[in-house]
């Protein structure tokens, strides 16, 4: 069955950044088979798509109604299961120790992680995100939720030098993660990786072992890097090194390495990132809300380091959508650089799509609309008040659009959002199940549940 999405401003994000003011995308099975202008569509298929009958048998015609057709977005750093912690102690100076860690210890279990991940996936899909790099616990279960929900994703099993909600020791976490990695080894859409928590929260021997395992399974080796003051202080005091230098020194910086945050990175370290082929997940919303600073992304991009955008967890960045991140990215970097022309909208859309896919090692699979790649496609409507007029679709996506403008979403050719509604899940039911579970946990005992 062929589906053709037509009559939209087509932003392909392919290598040439081809853009069609009026264009179409054809999909068959899980793949994109053609892209082009409306003129080319007419030449190939005649005017049949505009007839009431829908034209040629076997083709599903989907009118984008003049909206923006773009590749599905790629969220390169997320902790979906932390949805219950969204908005908790947002303005508290020591929020992590006062709110998050105690609540995680008291309330988090497999059921809550799974129900919250399902809710997170609904939020991601409704915001036009078709690929997510998640990092939390119970990765095997989270991968199962991704698989059923239809999103493309990598579920990271967090490993750290202390007991967590799903493992008493780092070795137990690694065993669990490896079992899930094996289970999803041949899955075309979902995979699992081992994710060290951070450069100083996971000891050197585990970092080395995990790096080797992740490479063996061709999945990202991703960890919080150069994010925290205590992390930088410890590495400087102990080894006289920055975080990227440390990862390089112990031999875990390579093409599969995805450094999340990478805020406190020196110019020399950017060169090292480039030399090793490593990537960065830039979480500007989370970083600036926590007053951690702005990563030197301009320099990274100039050096040729692939940089994708990440929402971080809902406890840190609140919303999981990338429209918010694209806007923050433009605003903070332009302001930092005192240069209105820095970070043009097209580059920021590339970070949310093509470069994000590269950062996850999925550039051959997703991140652009072109024949042969997976059909991960989004239509952003331009009928809403905030979307008129559109002179430049890239600028409209970065400066005007919101997640609420996402009308249609396909992942691997499967329509998961239509007319702004999930097609296979019921958001009310997913939220109800999560709220009901929260009422059975410490969220109620602590008086936090008021719903
Ligand atoms: Zn994070």
Is the Cβ–Cβ distance between 114 and 83 less than 8 Å?
Answer: no
Is the Cβ–Cβ distance between 131 and 75 less than 8 Å?
Answer: yes
| 35 Cα: distance to centroid of ligand 1 (angstroms) | 36
| 418 Cα: distance to centroid of ligand 1 (angstroms) | 30
* Phi and psi, residue 258, nearest 5°: -120, 105
* 307 closest CA partner among 267, 262, 275, 241: 262
Alpha-carbon distance of 23 to 3, in angstroms, equals: 14
Query: Other CB atoms closer than 10 Å to residue 15's CB: what's the count?
Result: 9
Is the Cβ–Cβ distance between 409 and 415 less than 8 Å?
Answer: yes
| 8 Cα: distance to centroid of ligand 1 (angstroms) | 35
**73 DSSP 8-state letter:** E
**50 DSSP 8-state letter:** G
Alpha-carbon distance of 138 to 101, in angstroms, equals: 17
| 159 Cα: distance to centroid of ligand 1 (angstroms) | 13
| 18 Cα: distance to centroid of ligand 1 (angstroms) | 33
End-to-end alpha carbon distance in the chain = 44
Tell me the two tokens of residue 19.
């853009």
CATH architecture type of domain 73-359: Alpha-Beta Barrel (3.20)
Is the Cβ–Cβ distance between 416 and 151 less than 8 Å?
Answer: yes
pLDDT at 152: 98
**35 bridge partner residues:** 25
**18 DSSP 8-state letter:** -
Note every long-range contact of 395-402, with CB atoms under 8 Å and residues 24 or more positions apart, other chains counting.
395/345, 396/68, 397/11, 397/68, 397/70, 397/323, 397/326, 397/345, 397/349, 398/326, 398/327, 398/330, 398/345, 398/348, 398/349, 399/327, 399/330, 399/345, 401/68, 401/323, 402/321, 402/323
pLDDT at 54: 57
| 281 Cα: distance to centroid of ligand 1 (angstroms) | 10
**4 bridge partner residues:** 26, 61
Q: How far is CA 59 from the centre of its chain?
A: 31
**23 bridge partner residues:** 8, 37
| 214 Cα: distance to centroid of ligand 1 (angstroms) | 19
pLDDT at 103: 85
Claim: this prediction has a pTM higher than 0.95: yes
Q: Is 384 helix (H, G, I), strand (E, B) or coil?
A: coil
Alpha-carbon distance of 3 to 240, in angstroms, equals: 57
Alpha-carbon dihedral 19, 25, 31, 33, rounded to 10 degrees: -90
pLDDT at 100: 85
Q: Computed from CA positions of residues 245, 247, 249, 253, in that sequence, does the dihedral angle turn out positive or negative?
A: negative
pLDDT at 95: 83
Is the Cβ–Cβ distance between 33 and 44 less than 8 Å?
Answer: no
HSE-CB for 284 with a 13 A CA cutoff = 27
* 230 closest CA partner among 198, 257, 258: 198
Residues of the chain with pLDDT under 70: 49-57
Tell me the two tokens of residue 36.
């082009």
Tell me the two tokens of residue 184.
């999803």
| 76 Cα: distance to centroid of ligand 1 (angstroms) | 10
Prior bond of 389 cis (ω within 30°):
yes
Is the Cβ–Cβ distance between 296 and 365 less than 8 Å?
Answer: no
pLDDT at 101: 84
| 286 Cα: distance to centroid of ligand 1 (angstroms) | 9
Q: What stretch of H or E contains 28?
A: strand 19-28
> Do the domains 73-359 and 2-70+368-419 match in fold?
no
Q: What are the extents of the domains in the chain?
A: 2-70+368-419, 73-359
| 198 Cα: distance to centroid of ligand 1 (angstroms) | 9
Alpha-carbon distance of 339 to 117, in angstroms, equals: 39
pLDDT at 88: 86
| 19 Cα: distance to centroid of ligand 1 (angstroms) | 34
| 424 Cα: distance to centroid of ligand 1 (angstroms) | 28
At the fourth CATH level, the homologous superfamily of domain 2-70+368-419 is Urease, subunit C, domain 1 (2.30.40.10)
* 295 closest CA partner among 267, 272, 263, 259: 263
Q: How far is CA 365 from the centre of its chain?
A: 15
pLDDT at 53: 59
| 197 Cα: distance to centroid of ligand 1 (angstroms) | 9
Give the pairing type, strands 2-11 and 59-63.
Answer: parallel
Tell me the two tokens of residue 233.
């202080």
pLDDT at 57: 64
Tell me the two tokens of residue 272.
């090292």
Residue 365 region by backbone torsions, left for phi larger than 0, else alpha for psi between -120 and 50, else beta: alpha
Alpha-carbon distance of 198 to 202, in angstroms, equals: 6
């Amino acid at each position: 069955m062929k589906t053709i999405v037509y009559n939209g401003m087509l932003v392909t994000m392919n290598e040439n950044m081809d853009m069609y003011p009026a264009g179409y995308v054809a999909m068959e099975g899980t793949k994109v088979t053609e892209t082009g202008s409306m003129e080319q569509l007419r030449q190939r298929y005649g005017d049949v798509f505009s007839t009431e009958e829908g034209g040629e048998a076997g083709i599903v015609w989907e009118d984008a109604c003049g909206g923006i057709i773009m590749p599905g977005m790629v969220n390169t750093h997320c902790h979906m299961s932390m949805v219950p912690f969204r908005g908790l102690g947002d303005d508290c100076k020591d929020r992590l120790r006062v709110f998050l860690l105690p609540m995680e210890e008291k309330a988090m279990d497999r059921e809550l992680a799974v129900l919250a991940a399902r809710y997170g996936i609904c939020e991601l899909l409704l915001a036009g995100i078709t690929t997510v790099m998640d990092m939390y616990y119970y990765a095997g279960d989270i991968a199962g939720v991704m698989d059923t929900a239809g999103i493309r994703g990598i579920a990271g099993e967090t490993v750290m030098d202390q007991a967590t909600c799903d493992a008493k020791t780092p070795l137990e976490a690694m065993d669990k993660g490896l079992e899930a990695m094996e289970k999803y080894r041949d899955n075309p859409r979902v995979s699992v990786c081992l994710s060290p928590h951070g450069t100083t929260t996971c000891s050197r021997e585990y970092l080395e072992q995990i790096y080797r395992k992740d490479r063996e399974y061709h999945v990202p080796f991703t960890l919080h890097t150069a994010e925290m003051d205590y992390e930088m202080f410890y590495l400087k005091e102990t080894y006289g090194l920055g975080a990227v230098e440390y990862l390089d020194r112990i031999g875990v910086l390579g093409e599969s390495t995805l450094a999340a945050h990478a805020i406190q990175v020196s110019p020399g370290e950017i060169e090292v990132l480039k030399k090793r082929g490593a990537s960065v997940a830039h979480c500007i919303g989370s970083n600036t809300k926590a007053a951690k600073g702005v990563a030197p992304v301009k320099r990274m991009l100039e050096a040729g380091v692939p940089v994708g955008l990440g929402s971080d967890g809902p406890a840190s960045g609140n919303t999981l959508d990338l429209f918010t991140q694209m806007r923050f990215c433009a605003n903070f970097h332009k302001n930092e650089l005192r240069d209105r022309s820095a970070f043009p909208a097209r580059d920021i859309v590339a970070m949310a799509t093509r470069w994000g896919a590269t950062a996850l090692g999925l550039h051959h699979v997703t991140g652009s609309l072109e024949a042969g790649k997976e059909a991960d496609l989004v239509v952003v409507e331009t009928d809403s008040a905030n979307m008129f007029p559109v002179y430049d679709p890239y600028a409209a996506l970065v400066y005007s659009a919101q997640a609420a403008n996402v009308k249609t979403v396909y992942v691997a050719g499967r329509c998961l959002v239509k007319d702004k509604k999930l097609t296979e899940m019921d958001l009310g039911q997913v939220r109800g199940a999560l709220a009901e579970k929260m009422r059975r946990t410490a969220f109620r005992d602590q008086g936090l549940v008021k719903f």
